[in-house]
Amino acid sequence: MPAPDIAIPSRAPAEVSADDTILPFEVAALDLRGRVVRLGPAVDSILAGHDYPQPVAKLLGEAIVLGVMLGTALKFEGRFILQTKTDGPVPMLVVDFSTPDKVRACARLDKERLATAIAAGRTDAGALLGKGHLAMTIDQGADMSRYQGLVALEGGTLEDAAHEYFLRSEQIPTRVRLAVAEEFLAVSGGTSHRWRAGGILLQFVPRASERARVPDLDPGDAPEGVTPHTVKEDDAWVEGRSLVETVEDVELIDPALSSERLLYRLFHERGVRVFRAGALRAECSCSRQSVEAMLRSFPQSDRDDMVENGVISVTCEFCSATYVFEPGDVADKASSE
């Protein structure tokens, strides 16, 4: 773990939630570290901008919390992209986080199957996603190699997938809780609503390396009679994960409960230290220049196929901005002369 920023004075915990923030923390007595994510306007503007059916908005909201939670842990400039690819009514979710503080996200829907699933009440994450995988990509720019981690999605939640990923790929015992809800407000003439989301990540990172053991992977098709080697879970980790498993959804999204109060509620007996909070905003990174560059990278025949009513029109999947080009604007230099 990089040296935490300890140059901040101790202070009384904030009373109310600061929206669109990420608060790193440490419970030194239990060798635990983590982050609390609280999202208000950022998640609301993304979800309201797309107008997805409610269960899809909730699922994408969870993915946004997870993507922000992991992306803001990057210690260098770059992007963190969380993407699902599955066979269910929501075949793809994408959360694209750019350091230090920008996030955008979208979902792809199979409208017919989604309508059937919603009518039948099958709207849990497992039913909407189906089976496939979750990919997490770290991109440090054109000259650097990309890192991609994959974990199977097998009808479970994004939380399940995150636990599996950290256990198998990073060998770090991890618990994640994600929550998304609509807050209804009375306004003149009726009610309005806005989305809120939150989450907590907890990891066991012992200083003594011999305590960092995790159970071996299942031996799979090993010969019969081979007992898997088991390692007893560390008591400190059992205590930490048990506490995080008690966190209710409402505690993660309640505007009246600050991240610090939540941490105090969970860990006051052991002592918890918080570090400088980071901020987050919803912002798309698309631009006319980037869309033009993408179009120019296509073969002329593909661009010809894209012409409708005399123009090429491209709509950003993340923010719905539409860019319109004359075919000559993006034609190969040779053919436009």
Q: Show Cβ contacts of residue 277 under 8 Å, excluding neighbours closer than 6 positions.
A: 18, 21, 22, 23, 24, 259
- Minimum distance, C-beta of residue 286 to Zn ion, in the bound complex (Å): 3
**Closer by beta carbon to Zn ion, 212 or else 316:** 316
Tell me whether residue 67 or residue 173 sits nearer to Zn ion (CB atom): 67
Asked if residue 162 binds Zn ion (CB under 5 A), the reply is no
Q: For Zn ion, give the closer residue by CB, 138 or 319.
A: 319
- What are 93's strand-pairing partners? 84, 107
Q: Of these, 66, 151, 257, 319, which contacts Zn ion (CB under 5 A)?
A: 319
242 versus 287: smaller Cβ distance to Zn ion: 287
Dihedral angle sign, alpha carbons of residues 169, 173, 174, 175 = positive
The piece of 117-125, 131-139, 279-287, 302-310 that touches Zn ion (CB under 5 A) is: 279-287
Q: 238: phi > 0 → left, psi -120 to 50 → alpha, else beta; which?
A: alpha
Based on CB atoms, which residue is closest to Zn ion, 82 or 319? Answer: 319
Minimum distance of Zn ion from residue 312's CB (angstroms): 17
Among 58, 53, 69, 144, CA closest to 103: 69
Burial (CB count <10 Å: 0-12, 13-18, 19+), residue 3? exposed
Choice from 43, 106, 178, 284 touching Zn ion (CB under 5 A): 284
Sheet arrangement for strand 307-308: 307-308, 311-315, 322-325
Query: For Zn ion, which stretch binds (CB under 5 A), given 57-65, 80-88, 242-250, 314-322?
Result: 314-322
Among 124, 316, 329, 331, binds Zn ion (CB under 5 A): 316
Instruction: Kindly report the number of other CB atoms within 10 A of residue 12's CB atom.
Output: 6
318 binds Zn ion (CB under 5 A): yes
CB of 41 to Zn ion, least distance (A): 18
46 is an interface residue for Zn ion by CB under 5 A? no
- For Zn ion, the closer CB: 97 or 318: 318
Secondary structure (DSSP) of 133-172: EEEEEEE--TTS--EEEEEEEESS-HHHHHHHHIIIII--
Compute how many residues bind Zn ion; rule: CB under 5 A: 6
Residues lying near Zn ion in the complex (CB under 5 A) are found at 284, 286, 316, 318-319, 321
